[in-house]
Chain A
Amino acid sequence: MIEISGFAKTYGAVHAATAVSLRANDAAITTLLGGNGSGKTTTLRALTGLIRPDSGTCRIDGIDVTANRIGALKRLGAFADRFGLYPRLTAREHLELAAALHGLKGAGLKAAVDRAVTLLDMGGIADRRTTGMSAGQQVKVALGRAIVHAPPNLVLDEPTRGLDIFAVRLLRDLLKRLRSEGMCILMTSHVMAEVAELSDALVLIAGGRTIAAGTVAEICRDARADDLETAIFSLSAPAQRSLA
């Protein structure tokens, strides 16, 4: 389970986040929604220990990321919007590296890597270096790296950006499967169809703070809108106007 409470972060005069709070449950996909610059990526960066909150807390399975970064990150898999793959390592080596850094070794490590390779249908590319791979293949490697150690929690920053329909389908199926296995999944996305199909819960952020949370139906009801896109637009508009 992931909990963020009163998260705020300022860079000089820029208030990247002022009051973000959310809760992502186990066995559920929670989607963080918001316009560009609303504070989504800043929130995920705090959750993955890359930045320290000015105030508020980020907890992973009850462990405060700021107080115990390593303990919290052991229970997390992270998929960044920029894959950050190492061009001279093979796909399998990426998975082995991530698994080893999470404490796996020997037969357990090999089994974990083989499982991730099978799960992501990476057999054909597992022993290829990542340089020259297509965007879809790179997504598989980055995802494999995030889940190889079977973390109870997973965060994904815009995982479908730049993917073709085959890769999107594969990713969607994978996320559903991981959810059914009890994983807590927190992701960001701009694709409404994907959000509506996958999300068990939504958290809407605008102007650096949480403005709404609930299921798709609840968000639409609160906004008195017929569809999700209209609801998000309607709820975010005041905060977006104040930013402009």
Chain B
Amino acid sequence: MRAFTIAFWKEWTTATRERRELLSAFAYALAGPLMIALLITGNASDARQNGPDKWTLCEGSAAPAGLSAWLETQNFTRADDAAICLAVPDGYEAGLAGGTTVSLAIEADLNAAERPARRLKAALDSYARAIADDRLLARGVAPIATRPLAVELRNTSVVSVTAERLVGALVLFLICAPFFISQSTAIDTTAGERERRGLEPLLTQPVPRTALVLAKFAIAFVVGIVGTALTIALALVVIGKTPVAELGVRIALDMQTALVCAAMLIPLAAAVAALQVAIGLWARTFKEGQTYALLFAFAPVALGFGALFGGGGAIQPWPVMFEIAALKAPLLGAPWPDLAPWLVSAAISLGIAALALAASIWRLHDERLLAET
């Protein structure tokens, strides 16, 4: 224990004196919440635009009698600078009068004007239904006869789709925190130290190599978990300052949520720090180690996108997969989930950490470690 404490003191002193390393570690905690805030503010700004949408006729289109008046009633206004235009064929009036089908087209850049374009289509569909009803009545048929079923889609979810997606993005961002925050420290204390020839004098000291590995792991873990807690706290504070409520999203932003999220990420942060230490001990230089660690950091990003866009399903106990599913509950204000899945997931993460540390201890006994320098 004493050897570990001394070795940890050395790692702590070294790590905390390297400002560039710490800044790069904590840049994630500082910059990430700002990105989330910008995302929320941008979405809220889009949603806030509730004035009449503009439309115009495409070049060469016929002027549709009655249609303009209908669209005015649906909160559309005709303007030459509109981002969406309606293509109306020459035979529009004749087609309607003859009881045939007339094809219209809405032309718009859906990247920039998807919402008003879809609203215009819905308004035109509604107009078409009104004309169809008139045609049926003229033929002595009650329009209701053509609608034997009235189907209504009712949302039973207590959480809106927007909230689900926003929280999903937030969860992914929080899970990535330990991967990016402890990376620099873990690689510097292993590959960096080896590159600076500092590992050899340490290995000639009369201390168990287990203590040296544990000290290196401990500093990476401390930096990782402190940085992750800071990321969570800053993210919740910054989100609290954004117009997130305007999106119909309610995210729990209190201290309890922050603590629950941090607690859930502790086992993952331990596994990540241990794996990064192992990666660093197999790399010959700091640069090489950082490259491997960066590739490793893409794992949660890939898994996270898979989980976000791959739909729901049962909670998986595997590291990252578990946190992706489980972190949503406290953020959405749902009750604390069952402890059992968390315990299973924590045991798996800590098992991975133990294996990675065992590999690192073995590596410190490997003569090739110094021969390869």
Chain A: residues with CB nearer than 8 A to chain B? 11, 45, 48-52, 69-74, 76, 78, 80, 82-89, 93, 97-98, 100-103, 142, 145
Contacting pair B10 A86 (CB below 8 A): yes
The answer to whether residues A70 and B6 also contact, given A50-B200, A80-B200, A82-B197 and a CB cut-off of 8 A, is: no
Contacting pair A84 B201 (CB below 8 A): yes
Tell me the smallest distance from the CB of B322 to a CB of chain A, in Å. 37
Per-residue interface assignment for chain B, residues 57 to 74, with 1 indicating a CB less than 8 Å from any chain A CB and 0 otherwise: 000000000000000000
Complex CA gap A82/B7 in Å reads: 21
Tell me the smallest distance from the CB of B6 to a CB of chain A, in Å. 4
Which of B98-106, B122-130, B204-212 lies at the interface? B204-212
Of the residues A50, A70, A78, A84, contact of B198 by C-beta under 8 Å: A84
Q: Which A residues are CB-close (under 8 A) to B109?
A: none
Of the residues A52, A87, A100, contact of B367 by C-beta under 8 Å: A52
The answer to whether residues A89 and B10 also contact, given A50-B367, A50-B370, A84-B196 and a CB cut-off of 8 A, is: yes
Contacting pair B371 A101 (CB below 8 A): no
Contacting pair A100 B6 (CB below 8 A): yes
Complex CA gap A75/B68 in Å reads: 97
Q: Which A residues are CB-close (under 8 A) to B198?
A: 84-86
Q: Does B13 contact A (CB under 8 A)?
A: yes
Contacting pair A101 B201 (CB below 8 A): no
Chain B: CB-nearest residue to A88: B17
The answer to whether residues A49 and B18 also contact, given A86-B10, A97-B6 and a CB cut-off of 8 A, is: no
Tell me the smallest distance from the CB of A151 to a CB of chain B, in Å. 10
Q: Which B residues are CB-close (under 8 A) to A70?
A: 206-208
Tell me the smallest distance from the CB of B100 to a CB of chain A, in Å. 83
Of the residues B13, B18, B204, contact of A50 by C-beta under 8 Å: B204
Q: Describe B's contact surface by its main secondary structure.
A: helix
Complex CA gap A39/B81 in Å reads: 84
Complex CA gap A82/B196 in Å reads: 9
Tell me the smallest distance from the CB of A240 to a CB of chain B, in Å. 23
Complex CA gap A86/B18 in Å reads: 12
Complex CA gap A93/B206 in Å reads: 18
Q: Which A residues are CB-close (under 8 A) to B206?
A: 69-74, 101-103
Contacting pair B204 A80 (CB below 8 A): yes
Q: Which A residues are CB-close (under 8 A) to B13?
A: 88-89, 93
Q: Which A residues are CB-close (under 8 A) to B200?
A: 50, 80, 82, 84
Complex CA gap A49/B206 in Å reads: 9
Q: Which residues of B from 177 to 219 have beta carbons under 8 Å from A?
A: 193, 196-208
Known A82-B200, A97-B6, A103-B206; further 15 A-B contacts with Cβ < 8 A: A45-B370, A49-B203, A50-B203, A51-B367, A52-B367, A72-B206, A73-B206, A74-B206, A76-B204, A80-B200, A84-B199, A86-B10, A88-B13, A88-B18, A100-B9
Tell me the smallest distance from the CB of B25 to a CB of chain A, in Å. 15
Contacting pair A83 B197 (CB below 8 A): yes
Complex CA gap A51/B200 in Å reads: 11
Q: Which B residues are CB-close (under 8 A) to A71?
A: 206
The answer to whether residues A89 and B205 also contact, given A50-B370, A82-B200 and a CB cut-off of 8 A, is: no
19 A-B Cβ contacts within 8 A? Answer: A49-B203, A49-B204, A50-B370, A70-B206, A80-B204, A82-B200, A83-B197, A84-B200, A86-B193, A88-B14, A88-B18, A93-B13, A97-B9, A97-B10, A98-B205, A101-B6, A101-B205, A101-B207, A145-B201
Complex CA gap A197/B18 in Å reads: 44
Tell me the smallest distance from the CB of A193 to a CB of chain B, in Å. 28
Q: Which A residues are CB-close (under 8 A) to B193?
A: 86
Q: Which B residues are CB-close (under 8 A) to A52?
A: 367
Contacting pair A87 B203 (CB below 8 A): no
Of the residues A11, A69, A76, A85, contact of B371 by C-beta under 8 Å: A11
Tell me the smallest distance from the CB of B125 to a CB of chain A, in Å. 69
Complex CA gap A86/B206 in Å reads: 18
Q: Which A residues are CB-close (under 8 A) to B199?
A: 84
Q: Which B residues are CB-close (under 8 A) to A49?
A: 203-204
Q: Which A residues are CB-close (under 8 A) to B9?
A: 97, 100
Complex CA gap A72/B205 in Å reads: 10
Q: Which A residues are CB-close (under 8 A) to B201?
A: 78, 80, 83-84, 142, 145
Q: Does B222 contact A (CB under 8 A)?
A: no
Complex CA gap A142/B17 in Å reads: 21
